[in-house]
Structure 1
Amino acid sequence: MSTQQQETSRETVVPLTGEYPVARVDLMPPEIAERRRFARARGWMVVGLVAVSAGLGAGWYLAAADAAAAQEELAAEQARTVELQAEAAQFAQVPAILASVGRAESALATAMASDVEWYRYLSQIGQSAPDTVWFQTITAATVAPGSLTADPLAPQDTVAEVSTTGRALSYPDVATWLDAMDGIKDLDYVFFTDATLDDDTGEDPWVDFTATSKVAPGAFSDRYAQEGQ
């Protein structure tokens, strides 16, 4: 075979690459293509509707749950309110009672403003006496505020006066007792008002005496005073 025949018998091969576009012919009827597009669109619409429905369902569920929780909280608060109202009803009379107690305390403080704990002074007067002095009577009388005593030397802010009668073996014994009385707080201006020597019985003589003392304002106990007064 000659060289020319070899060249004639060779086949020409065209590679199917992008360099050589292949012509395509769509033989599908337009109605079928339209139905397919509609079917795809309908599918997406169904998917969208399902998603929207799911979102609405989730939102409704959450709203319902929140509403139920709020209803429970409201019911609990209402029950608590009823309990508090019942408790408050139990103490409805407390303000009136407190007001009544306040008025009573105020009246007591006014009535007892000049209260003196006399037992303290009686005890001190008794302890101040020597063994040679005996008491027969001890009398305490309050003095109206602002009243003036007849004695110009006596203190003018006196709130009470104590009068004591007794018997002693001698005048010096009475004087010793009067000196001891001067040491009692809030008892001022202690002095003799009368002293008589009695020796008519034929026995040992004794001295009958009467003494008085003024009580200063410091003797008030203030135990019934209200706070702030």
Structure 2
Amino acid sequence: MRTINLIPQESKRQGESRKRMVGLVAAGLIYLLILGVITVWRQGSVDDAEAEALRQQQVNQQLQADVNALAGAEDLSREFDAAVATLGLALTNDVSWGRLLNDLGRLIPDRVWVTSYSGSINRPDFTAETPSTEIGSLAFAGIAFAPPDVAAWLRVLDSDQFPAVVGTWATGLTESAIGEVETVNFGSTTNLTPEALSGRLLERIPVIP
């Protein structure tokens, strides 16, 4: 059966135009919505970047303030290093003579006594690759009853009981007498080791945390 369209052609065209218009309006609204979302997202990114830049600027300002505050500390550190260097020159190879002779006095053999002594300190060599094991020397003049007593003296000074010296030897043994008692005069020289150091250098340098 043949279908007969009773709607006028003009009305049909108007309906189709309205549909197209509605479609265009809907598409425009969707476009505007998408554009708004993109704009808001970009604005948020810009705000985040500006906030990060502000935070970094504040960090930089704080770091600069810290650097300025440390300027005085650097000067103080240089003064401290200079004072330590001066103290080091004064007390390097500083020997505790009182302790050294007191320890020696407890070890001298009964048949030996010291009549005089003299000591000297070597100038430190700061260019040496390894520190010297001998920091100075010590010379004695003494009296013993017999040569074996001088040998006992040498054994005592070169023993582990007295590590402050090493390489002791005797020279110039001559016979003598005290009244009717025969004696032997002798000279003796030994080398000082780092065990003879006073340790005052480390005691006078404060520990800075």
In 1, Cα distance between equivalents of 2:73 and 2:154: 55
Q: Could you tell me which residue of structure 2 aligns to residue 212 of structure 1? A: 188
Would you say 1:181 and 2:157 are equivalent positions?
yes
TM superposition shift of 1:137: 2.9
Contact 2:169-2:189 at 8 Å conserved across structures: yes
In 2, Cα distance between equivalents of 1:85 and 1:178: 67
In 1, Cα distance between equivalents of 2:68 and 2:41: 40
| Higher helix proportion | 2
Structure 1 length as normaliser, TM-score? 0.59
Q: Which has the larger radius of gyration?
A: 1
Which AA in structure 2 matches 1:35? Answer: Q
TM superposition shift of 1:95: 5.5
Which AA in structure 2 matches 1:190? Answer: A
Structure 1 vs Structure 2 CA RMSD: 4.2
- CA deviation string 1:140-193 (max 9, x = no partner): 124689xxxxxxxxxxxx86442223455x335742334433435513323345
SS in 2 for 1:24: coil
Q: Pick from 53, 56, 73 the counterpart of residue 35 of structure 2.
A: 56
Structure 2 length as normaliser, TM-score? 0.63
- CA deviation string 1:115-149 (max 9, x = no partner): 5565665345323312344434321124689xxxx
Q: Which sections of structure 1, spanning at least 5 residues, go unmatched?
A: 1-20, 146-157, 225-229
In 1, Cα distance between equivalents of 2:174 and 2:57: 84
Query: Between the two proteins, what is the percent identity of the paired residues?
Result: 16
Q: Which sections of structure 2, spanning at least 5 residues, go unmatched?
A: 125-133, 202-209
Q: Pick from 137, 140, 144 the counterpart of residue 164 of structure 1.
A: 140
Q: Could you tell me which residue of structure 1 aligns to residue 54 of structure 2? A: 75
Q: In the TM superposition, what are the counterparts of 1:143-162 in structure 2 within 5 Å?
A: 160-162=136-138
In 1, Cα distance between equivalents of 2:135 and 2:9: 132
